Amino acid sequence: MLKHLLEKREKLVVGLMSGTSLDGIDAAIVRIVGTGRDSRAELVSFTSLPFDDALRERLKLVCSEDRSGTPDVCGMNFYLGSRFADAVREAVAAAGLEISDIDLIASHGQTVWHIPEASANDPYLVRSTLQIGDISVIAKETGIVTVGDFRTADMAVGGQGAPLVPYADFLLLRDETRGRIAQNVGGIGNCTAIPAGGQAEQVIAFDTGPGNMIIDQAVYELSGGARTYDAEGAWAAEGTVREEALEELLRHPYFRMPPVKTTGREMFGKPYASAWISSMRESGASAADIVATATAFTAHSIARGYRDFVFPHMTVHDVIVSGGGARNRTLLQMLAELLPEQRVVTSDEFGLNADAKEAIAFALLGSHFLHGEPNNIPSATGASRPTVMGKLALP
């Protein structure tokens, strides 16, 4: 089975992504030709399967420090494995393909906790990360070889296990004459800065901070659960940014930390967002002002990260936005105003579906794992060396 896969120059790979926004599963069917840094990826089909409100809220509890228990994580690990398998079957059917046409599945899984730095107070809380959505369940239910659990290998060689998408960003977006930043805005924002004509070792990458996470929580709470995100940034566009509140948000110590750095729900999740939303309500801010300020927080934290940690080291011509935030017009307008010397565009302009880009990235990572190709970028994660990330499950 594996020998046959390794001999194929062209493969159909399903990349699966469920991010920190907890909005659903992205499934990208990707045609990958070749191996290593010369490989090429073409999106064949893309499907997104949203989580219902009950599952989304349950996942928020599983990702919570004080409300999650071992049985919750154990059960959700297998439950999500089945949901990922469902996503594969639905994506294949939507593309008009047969399950037997698929060569490989590559699943990011669902991050429930991430500890990039060891605890100073608890010797058992070492550097670690946990993604659930068991790959054996996916492989057995679909009958397809499955690769997943990528982050742990990078952490085992001294990295932070994130961000991992920079490897694919470098393969897909590097340019000989233009410096570029690939900015994903999912639940958390992460950037990949690629100098013109640069090598992978020159890439600067880090999590910029909250992406849609606080915006989505604000919309959900302020709408009484009727809405889960700010479609096209329309609600934010109706409000006024509360400048004092914005400056207070930007004082968070995370933004002063130099790369390598990563973050997630353990820092900016529901408890953090809900406490801030409550304080804004108490101050008399309107719902629109709260959403506008949360959106400005994302835009300013991204731009500040560039000014502090990227622009001193390279000239950047293009900022290429992907993820759900690429559909938020108000956020893109704010970014463009904060970055007047750069061209702010979505990855769609480069032939990369902005909604599918991270799922495409994990399809590439999975293919590289299969061929024993290192698929991390140490300058992005802080790893001591390039390494092959991933684990294998056979059907």
Binding residues for ATP: 19-26
321 with 383, same domain: the answer is no
57 with 183, same domain: the answer is no
63 with 23, same domain: the answer is yes
Look at residues 50, 21, 22, 58 and name the one whose alpha carbon lies nearest to residue 213.
21
**Degrees, nearest 5: CA angle 309-314-315:** 120
Tell me which of 315, 334, 350 is where a domain ends.
Answer: 350
For 343-378, how does the pLDDT look when each residue is reduced to its tens digit (9 = 90+)? 999 999 999 999 999 999 999 999 999 999 999 999
For 56-103, how does the pLDDT look when each residue is reduced to its tens digit (9 = 90+)? 999 989 988 777 789 999 999 999 999 999 999 999 999 999 999 999
Mean pLDDT for each consecutive 10-residue tract of the chain (395 residues)? 88 94 94 89 96 93 83 96 98 98 98 92 95 98 98 96 93 96 96 96 96 97 96 98 98 97 91 96 98 98 98 98 97 98 97 95 96 94 96 98
Q: Is 390 helix (H, G, I), strand (E, B) or coil?
A: coil
98 with 147, same domain: the answer is yes
pLDDT for 3 equals 86
| Residue whose token pair is 């639905």 | 90
pLDDT for 58 equals 94
88 with 112, same domain: the answer is yes
pLDDT for 68 equals 76
Look at residues 392, 385, 391 and name the one whose alpha carbon lies nearest to residue 155.
385
Total domain count, the chain? 2
134 with 179, same domain: the answer is no
339 with 385, same domain: the answer is no
325 with 236, same domain: the answer is yes
Residue 199 neighbours by CB under 8 Å, 6+ apart: none
125 with 15, same domain: the answer is yes
Q: Which domain holds residue 143?
A: 2-161+355-393
140 with 220, same domain: the answer is no
CATH of residue 299's domain is 3.30.420.40
Look at residues 260, 257, 207, 209 and name the one whose alpha carbon lies nearest to residue 378.
260
Binding residues: 19-26
Which neighbouring-strand residues pair with 346?
321
pLDDT for 207 equals 95
